[in-house]
Amino acid sequence: MAGTATIETTTNGPRGKAASQFLQGGPKKLLIGGRWVAAASGKTFETVNPATEEVLALAAEADKLDVDEAVKAARKAFEDGKWPRMSPHQRTRTLLKIAEAIDAHAEELAELETLDNGKAISEAKNIDIPAAAEAFRYYAGWATKIYGETNPSSPSMFNYTLREPVGVCGQIIPWNFPLLMAAWKIAPALACGNTVVLKPAEQTPLTALRLGELICEAGLPEGVVNILTGFGPSAGGALAAHPGVDKVAFTGSTEVGREILKASAGNLKRLSLELGGKSPNIIFADADMSAAARISMLGIFMTQGQVCAAGSRIFVQRAAYDEFGEKLAALASGLKLGNPLEADTKMGPVVSREQYERVLGYIGHGAREGAKVKTGGEPASLGRGYFIKPTVFVGVRNDMKIAREEIFGPVAALLPFENEDDAVFQGNDNDYGLAAAVWTRDISRAHTVARRLKAGTVWINCYGLIDPISPFGGYKQSGFGRELGRHSIDLYTQVKSVFVKL
């Protein structure tokens, strides 16, 4: 092993006043029809700080009865309420208010995100929270730009299309970017005039609930956004299967995506699925090696590797393989791992005990399969919390479990390749197809490889850039449907053709 990550002692850390106030106010409630209510069953569950294993707050545990109520409220708001019929300019103003409220509460939201998820506060502050505000701002602009078309019918007819909202949208999101995923889902749905029932992940309910408060304060009519905290199979399953829901948008694992697909079949819901990945990050020997190593390191270790588009299979051309391995391991082992509330921490804990055990299980498997741990490969013993050292495996083959399956943790697999065909073949030889990257100074090869890779996003000489202007989603078992850009507008509208006899 080439060194050990710098480790800081974990403390509970400072808490801003606003975040502490939010955490102190008793069990968190569900947002249904504009009111904050306890679950019908009265049940609650604990949300835990993964850095300290302490309970942060209790959240209401929604089940089928609460889903029924929330869907009823969303249906009423859609059929009778003013939101779908509101002037698009007014919808723009409301979405902009939400964006401004996120900006105004950025410190508090970042702190809540870090406490609940474990990601470094610098990431929450610089990425998650501003990007969530940006998504609302971006889709605020779209509300006034959703056009129909006029079509060349016969001279005695006039044909035009209307783009109308889909209706009640059930949105189920994961724990890795809790507020950002809520924004990606809620903002375009609202821009198009839909109503929403959102279910955040049970591991990280806090920022979605705080967003719910900010949304209410921004003056959104009651019932337009409903938020249900609860578990996957019960609350999420009931939402995916509910006959009163017109569309389901899901981000999460491929395994659960399959369940959602089945559950949504009853009333043929429109469905978009953004699922797992095992993205190839391909580095040719002519690439700028220090940039490639630095950015690839972020591409796999950001948010402790719990990113669906993480560059978890790093393919390096054989001539540069050893050099790159040294560079990556040195960078990884220098990352400061520790209390995620500290400004200079680069890596916090993984999100939960379950995830911690799962990731360590994969690391053990990798070693047993014959891959070699270049750095990391073990928990960081800080006394408490789910900390795992950033891990780089070398000598990995593409048929090993650690190269085939999504680990969703801080584990990079380094694989050698010979030439362009080999890189493309190995890169594509996986069930997933969410993202990929290619590093080379040869412009023609960069674009050719980008075309040949079966992935929804390809980065050339960079990694991980996501911007609301550009679509995001998967090929193969990484899902279907594209979010962001104009594509979310397609997901959240349906087209009506109108014929007029002249």
State how far the Cα of 36 lies from the Cα of 224, in Å rounded to an integer.
14
The residue among 355 and 391 lying less far from ligand ADP, judged by its C-beta, is: 355
Q: Which distant-in-sequence residues (6+ apart) come within 8 Å of 128 by Cβ?
A: 110, 113, 119, 177, 178, 179, 180
The residue among 159 and 234 lying less far from ligand ADP, judged by its C-beta, is: 234
Which residue do the tokens 């974990």 mark? Answer: 10
Give the shortest CB-250-to-ligand ADP separation in angstroms. Answer: 7
Give the shortest CB-404-to-ligand ADP separation in angstroms. Answer: 16
Give the shortest CB-257-to-ligand ADP separation in angstroms. Answer: 7
Give the shortest CB-69-to-ligand ADP separation in angstroms. Answer: 18
- Smallest CA-to-CA distance from 435 within 302, 308, 284 is with 308
Question: For the CA atoms of 49, 55, 57, 61, what is the dihedral angle to 10 degrees?
Answer: 100
The residue among 239 and 394 lying less far from ligand ADP, judged by its C-beta, is: 239
Residues that bind ligand ADP (CB under 6 A): 172-174, 199, 201-202, 231-233, 236-237, 240, 252-253, 256, 259-260
Known catalytic residues are: 274, 308
Give the shortest CB-260-to-ligand ADP separation in angstroms. Answer: 5
Q: Which distant-in-sequence residues (6+ apart) come within 8 Å of 79 by Cβ?
A: none
Give the shortest CB-3-to-ligand ADP separation in angstroms. Answer: 30
The residue among 322 and 354 lying less far from ligand ADP, judged by its C-beta, is: 354
- Smallest CA-to-CA distance from 320 within 347, 370, 282, 349 is with 282
State how far the Cα of 9 lies from the Cα of 293, in Å rounded to an integer.
28
**How, if at all, do strands 195-199 and 225-227 pair?**
parallel
The residue among 177 and 315 lying less far from ligand ADP, judged by its C-beta, is: 177
**445-450-455 Cα angle (round to 5):** 155
Q: Which distant-in-sequence residues (6+ apart) come within 8 Å of 216 by Cβ?
A: 31, 34
State how far the Cα of 233 lies from the Cα of 256, in Å rounded to an integer.
9
**Type of residue numbered 479:** G
The residue among 173 and 314 lying less far from ligand ADP, judged by its C-beta, is: 173
User: Could you give the 3-state DSSP secondary structure of residue 306?
Assistant: coil
State how far the Cα of 203 lies from the Cα of 385, in Å rounded to an integer.
14
